[in-house]
Amino acid sequence: MVFLVQDDIKLQCHYQEIYSIRYLVSIFTKRPSRFGWLIKDKLAGSGRMITNSQLAWVTNNGIKSVFTIREYPLPQSWFSPGFGIDYKHLKVENGAPPVDELDDAVDYIEDDIKKTAKLY
């Protein structure tokens, strides 16, 4: 299963408020914001994970690979060796990733779907 994490684009002045609401919701649900299946049991997506408990929720739901498209990667400590989850990050600069790297990202997602690994 493949799981994509997309960073939300919000006005900077509202960032802290939005982050606080997401964090509060994560305490009670553990589920990443706006989680949903794009291809049932193969490819899922959500807003950015902000807590380790959200990553645990994702892995407890069978996700084996996490792919982020945002300015900064998730903490490397979340993906320690032996944890059993692959992590790939595509850095966004100036509002968009480089086209060649985007092509590589599509290949990565397609390969993970073919391997039947659940991707987030």
Q: Which residues of the chain have pLDDT under 50?
A: 1-2, 6-15
For the chain, domain boundaries: 2-119
pLDDT digit string (tens) for 7-23? Answer: 444 334 444 555 567 66
CATH number of 2-119: 3.90.190.10
Of the candidates 75, 64, 78, 72, the one whose C-alpha atom is nearest the C-alpha of residue 111 is 64
Q: Would you say the pTM of this structure is higher than 0.85?
A: no
